[in-house]
């Protein structure tokens, strides 16, 4: 049984959002004891030169201002560390993920905390977690040559150590909504709680 779920919604829409509806159904199916909600419609700030300088300054040498610069990133990472399962609502915008979701990823992908470099290459440190991605699109078929979202999400989650990644796709909703919803429902029912 899943104990803690981190639910991330990246849709810019609140009303009528297919990905938000799907993340809710996934969370309901998992029946966690605790849900941490992170709504990226209230975007996290993009990393900038001050953030990079603070991040690369050894922790014991950071100024108070640098600690404040990294405070949100630390909180976002803590949310991932706390969760057993991460449920991500990822609508495909222009063949990729929403900018707000990419910004969240930039905030949590920190060397020495969520991954590290070793002699054999990068090693993810967020192991033992599961991710379920509710991916939606109007016309892009998930897994097609024009889908730059699902492969990226699988890769970046694996990069930080989350290799158990499942997709519940409601894609090509503008092409055949009924077939899309039926496919998503089948994937949802196949999820182990």
- Write the CATH number for 89: 3.40.50.360
For residues 91 and 43, which has the higher predicted lDDT (pLDDT)? 91
Residue 136 known to bind ligand: yes
Indicate if the pLDDT at residue 192 is higher than 90. no
pLDDT in tens, 4-16: 999 999 999 999 9
Indicate if the pLDDT at residue 189 is higher than 70. yes
Task: For the chain, give the percent of residues with pLDDT over 90.
Answer: 95
Question: What pLDDT shows up at residue 1?
Answer: 61
φ, ψ of residue 166 to 5 degrees: the values are -120, 150
Name the helix (H) or strand (E) containing 6: strand 4-9
Interval 43-72 mean pLDDT: 97
Provide the number of structural domains found in the chain.
1
pTM: 0.95
| Range of the structural domain that residue 172 is part of | 4-190
Interval 168-178 mean pLDDT: 94
pLDDT in tens, 124-134: 999 999 999 99
The torsion defined by the Cα of 43, 49, 52 and 56, in degrees rounded to 10, comes to -160
Treating both helix axes as pointing N-terminal to C-terminal, what angle do 64-82 and 99-108 enclose, rounded to 10 degrees?
100
Residue 139 known to bind ligand: yes
Instruction: Give the DSSP per-residue string, 99-126.
Output: HHHHHHHHHH--BTTTEEEETTEEEES-
Helices (H), the chain: 18-30, 49-56, 64-82, 99-108, 150-159, 177-190
The answer to which of 84-93, 150-159, 181-190 has the lowest mean pLDDT is: 181-190
What confidence tier does 193 reach under pLDDT thresholds 50, 70, 90? Answer: low
Residue 124 known to bind ligand: no
Residue 180 known to bind ligand: no
Residue 144 known to bind ligand: no
Residue 138 known to bind ligand: yes
Residue 17 known to bind ligand: yes
Q: What number of other Cβ atoms are within 10 A of residue 85's Cβ?
A: 21
Token pair in block for residue 190: 């196949």
| 114 in Cβ contact with 106 (< 8 Å) | no
């Amino acid at each position: 049984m899943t104990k803690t779920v981190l639910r991330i919604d990246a849709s810019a829409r609140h009303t009528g959002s297919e990905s938000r509806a799907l993340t809710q159904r996934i969370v309901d199916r998992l029946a966690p004891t605790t849900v941490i909600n992170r709504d990226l419609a209230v975007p996290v700030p993009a990393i900038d030169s001050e953030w990079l300088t603070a991040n690369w300054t050894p922790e014991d040498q950071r100024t108070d201002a640098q600690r404040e610069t990294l405070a949100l990133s630390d909180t976002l990472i803590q949310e991932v560390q706390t969760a057993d399962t991460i449920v991500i609502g990822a609508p495909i915008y222009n063949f990729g993920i929403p900018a707000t979701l990419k910004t969240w990823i930039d905030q949590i992908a920190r060397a020495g905390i969520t991954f590290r470099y070793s002699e054999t290459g990068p090693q993810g440190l967020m192991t033992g977690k599961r991710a379920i991605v509710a991916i939606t699109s109007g016309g892009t078929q998930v897994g097609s040559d024009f889908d730059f979202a699902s492969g990226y999400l699988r890769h970046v989650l694996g990069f930080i150590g989350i290799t158990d990644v499942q997709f519940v796709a409601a894609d090509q909703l503008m092409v055949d909504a009924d077939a899309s919803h039926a496919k998503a429902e089948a994937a949802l029912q196949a999820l182990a709680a």
